[in-house]
Amino acid sequence: MAIWLIVAIVGGELFARALLSSPSTQIFDPALGYVNSPGDYFQAREGFQRLRLNSLGLNAPEPGPKVPGRMRALFIGDSMTFAAQVPSDANFVSQVGRRLPRLETVNAGRDALGPQDWPAMIDRLEPAVKPDLIVLMVSRGDAFDLRDAGVTIEHDAAGRPTGLSRPPSGRDAMQERLEPIMRHSALATFLVRRANSELTALRTGDSWTGWMIRGGKATIAGRNSGEEALDRAAIEAQLDDILELVNRGRRIAIVALPAYRYEAHGKVELEPRSQAEAGLFEAAARRAGLPFVDAGPAMAAAYARTGRPLTGFRNSRLGEGHLNAWGHEVVAAAITRGLAAQGLEGPR
């Protein structure tokens, strides 16, 4: 019996490594929840791409000495920026660097990273990367992540923000406890992520487990079903404080990457969370006096012109999930045009 159990575990581990995931690259970090382990390999489910992270745990080449006549731009964002689904040289961050010869780009994307993490992420990477420009990528759900993070922003007597803290989440606590197992097992990593996904789905109403518990009866999903509520005034106040914290003595730009539903006849519709967030980050950038680029119109126009969804892969679902190779190409072109129009294509 014990032998068959060992065979099953080993077989499951080999299957998971080949087709599902890699052992977790995540290391618990009290300020950011987690960071990616330097030099580790990362295998995505969508696209089956396998990546090697650099010595900073980033999906980017090693940052060497800065080249005279080139400006170094650090792109910070979530999994859309991390772009584990395509080769490193095919993601939009790398492509922007090739399209703008006087701009060197560094990809500092990380899964589930949101505005609440910007100050800590910049403080962590700035000494090693030494960026001349920091590009804050915002995508679907970032305002909701900020809302749910429970952040506390400290202010001085004059009302200026002085720091940001956030309580550890349940996911952070689970990450800390299970890290020793997940760091060495793709099967454990897959099962933990699957369980986390199922728990989230139970809360939102679109879970197979919930469906069985309800005896096969349908329910109305709590997400992706019409407009989602967001207290914009509260989020605006937090965004203003966060942007003031990160903007001190730095050159900052914001790029929006909305999410669309791809429909027939080349038409698109903003997904519910992107609908709720529409205009939020653009207004925050304007109040802070920061350059802002919206990649959304170029994405919608590309689909209208070609009928090719910018997200999804043939081993998952087209039109859903993360940017595919075509999507990265379109987004890179949009960012390139936007940065150039703002005078951010190279040193002043």
List, for residues 166-183, the tens digit of each pLDDT value: 887 656 556 556 656 655
Q: Which of 23-27, 223-227, 233-237, 337-341 has the lowest mean pLDDT?
A: 223-227
| pLDDT score, position 150 | 92
Q: What is the pTM of this model?
A: 0.84
User: ∠ CA(105), CA(109), CA(111), 5° rounding?
Assistant: 165
Average pLDDT over residues 124-149: 97
Rounded average pLDDT over 132-150: 97
Q: How far apart are CA 251 and CA 5, in angstroms?
A: 56
Percentage of residues in the chain having pLDDT higher than 90? 65
pLDDT number for residue 341: 98
Residues 6+ apart with CB under 8 A from 181: 188
pLDDT at residue 134, rounded to an integer: 99
Task: Please check the confidence at residue 29 and state whether its pLDDT lies above 90.
Answer: no
CB 45 within 8 A of CB 21: yes
* pLDDT > 70? residue 201: no
Q: What is the pLDDT of residues 36-77, one digit of tens each?
A: 889 988 877 788 788 999 999 999 999 999 999 999 999 999
Sign, CA torsion 337/343/344/348: positive
Instruction: Tell me which of 91-95, 154-158, 164-168, 209-213 is least confident.
Output: 209-213
On the question of pLDDT at 202 being above 90, the answer is no
In this prediction, residue 26 has a pLDDT band, given cuts at 50, 70 and 90, of confident
Establish how many alpha carbons lie within 13 A of residue 57's alpha carbon, considering only the half-sphere containing its beta carbon.
Answer: 17
pLDDT at position 296 over 50: yes
pLDDT score recorded for residue 59: 98
Other Cβ atoms within 10 Å of 3 Cβ, number: 7
pLDDT at 25: 64
Q: Which residue has the higher pLDDT, 11 or 51?
A: 51
Q: Give pLDDT, residue 226.
A: 44
**Is the C-alpha dihedral spanning 140, 248, 104, 66 positive or negative?**
negative
**Distances, alpha carbon 155 to alpha carbons 47, 151, 196, 212, 241, in Å:** 45, 13, 35, 49, 9
Q: Taking residues 146-154, report their average pLDDT.
A: 95
Q: What percent of the chain has pLDDT over 70?
A: 76
Domains of the chain: 2-341 (3.40.50.1110)
Question: Where residue 3 falls among pLDDT bands split at 50, 70, 90?
Answer: confident
- pLDDT score of 247 more than 80: yes
CA-to-CA distance for 35 and 40, rounded, in angstroms? 12
Q: Shortest CA distance to 257 belongs to which of 165, 170, 166, 332?
A: 332
- The pLDDT, as a whole number, for residue 91 is 99
Q: What is the mean pLDDT of the chain?
A: 85
Read off the pLDDT band of 204 (50, 70, 90): very low
Q: Quick one: pLDDT at residue 170? A: 58
